[in-house]
Amino acid sequence: MNREYNLIIGRQAVAGAEGTFNVLNPATEQPVAASPQASLEQLNQAVEAAQTAFESWKLSTHAERQRMINKIADQLEKRADELAAIIVQEQGKPMFLAKAEVGGAIAWTRATAALEVPVEVIEDSDSKRIEMHRKPLGVVGSITPWNWPLMIAVWHIMPALRAGNTVVCKPSELTPLNTLILGEIINEVAPAGLVNIITGESRLGSAMTAHPDIQKIVFTGSIPTGQAIMANAAPTLKRLTLELGGNDAGIVLPDADLDAIAMPIFQTSFLNMGQTCAALKRLYVHESQYDALCERLVAIAEQQNVGNGAEEGVTFGPVQNSKQLNIVNELVEDARDNGAQILTGGAPAEGSGYFYPPTIVAEISDGVRLVDEEQFGPVLPVIRYSDVEDAVRRANANSNGLGGSVWSSDIEQAQRIAARLECGTAWINNHAEILPHAPFGGCKMSGFGVEFGLEGLLEYTSPQVININKG
């Protein structure tokens, strides 16, 4: 706790008007640093600073925006080691994964800078020309979660800036530190007020979603919070992009090569200790391969080195917070009570830290909470099926619809099945692969709107049609 963190309002470092709160290291349960607690008045000041900055930024050229965002990427590269270390301390993931998060954030920043905003010509005749232009919205409110705190802040902020908007960002109070550093980095090269960072409890987020001077909210998080945001935003008809997590199903077809797919299935199920919205969270396996795949997954799970992400050789860190640890434990205990077999793991580690080993649960089916609900942690239920049609039906019989996958040696057959999955992205022989040039978003209760690529960028704009009579 040897450095001071401040809010960033109008490019100024500002102490929290309501004091500070401690940010805990989930591996030790000890404070990492004190984060500033912003007041509602400071939120208003941040929005006002963003409004003022918007008046000039909306007139900036695309080239100016691209240059500035690339300069931000340059500064991120210079402080990559510092950012990775902070992510390990406040989020808990192993260092190799924190470095991947920082590297991904830099790559996403550059990819966003490179996007071009088109002018669509609808008609160009002798008498008329009609063009559709894209204009920035104004102040964008970003509310980010605790699982990929730097990466998701970049996902929210960079397209907003690229489209000509300004930003007020509130990170999760569990992982605010790297976002405050991101704000410092951005404000080394950005005009005053372009990006403002406030930190504190959830009432700040509620106030943002109802704020009359915020034109759009982009949110990544839980379904109940997304529903509350939608209700709060209704009176002002805010634009919304809501990525509300999922309970992604994977279907392993009878012809799948188990030796080829076991490791990718494990990695995409337990990515970030399972704390990833698009992780594989329900695995349907044909009865002919069920036992053999379970054995392979257990072997991989037992090879993991669970511990403090800052220590060398650790491959598997803690759950980020005690509340989530309790949810994971509760779901596993419920599965055990309902006759499921815990093949490996299945209980929190003793001692300090929110550690839960990678856990494979077998002989479980739909109707049990661990299958029906998103566990968002290091547990994978493996469900036996005998008929592919039944597996597709069961995969779709869930209110979530973020991602899904099909695992098979027959790509054409896998494509036919993948096309029937009710989800925003369907992967074949992979899962949870998110790319800066491929739109990503959910359907059903997993939210609406997309991020990434041109489609994601256009979500930060409003169309304006210019209708020219040539006389």
Active site members? 243, 277
| Cβ-based neighbours of 384, under 8 Å, separated by 6 or more | 285, 287, 290, 363, 365
The residue whose two tokens read 């968002």 is: 376
SS3 content of the chain, % helix, strand, coil (to 5): 40, 25, 40
SS3 of 51, please?
A: helix
The H or E element spanning position 240 is strand 239-243
Look at residues 200, 208, 210, 205 and name the one whose alpha carbon lies nearest to residue 221.
205
What are the strands of the beta sheet with 248-252, ordered from one edge? 341-344, 359-362, 379-385, 280-286, 248-252, 403-407, 425-428
Q: How far apart are CA 194 and CA 165, in angstroms?
A: 8
Written in H, E and C, the secondary structure of 28-47 is CCEEEEEEECCCHHHHHHHH
* C-alpha dihedral (443, 446, 449, 454), degrees to nearest 10: -90
| Cβ-based neighbours of 426, under 8 Å, separated by 6 or more | 403, 404, 405, 406, 418, 419
| Cβ-based neighbours of 250, under 8 Å, separated by 6 or more | 265, 269, 280, 282, 283, 284, 404, 405, 406, 407, 431
The residue whose two tokens read 């949870």 is: 432
Residue 203 Cα to chain centre, angstroms:
21
Name the residue type at position 101.
E
Q: How far apart are CA 183 and CA 78, in angstroms?
A: 15
Q: How far apart are CA 34 and CA 28, in angstroms?
A: 16
224, two tokens: 């109940």
Give the Å distances, CA to CA, from 344 to 319, 381, 419.
17, 12, 33
The residue whose two tokens read 């009570």 is: 337
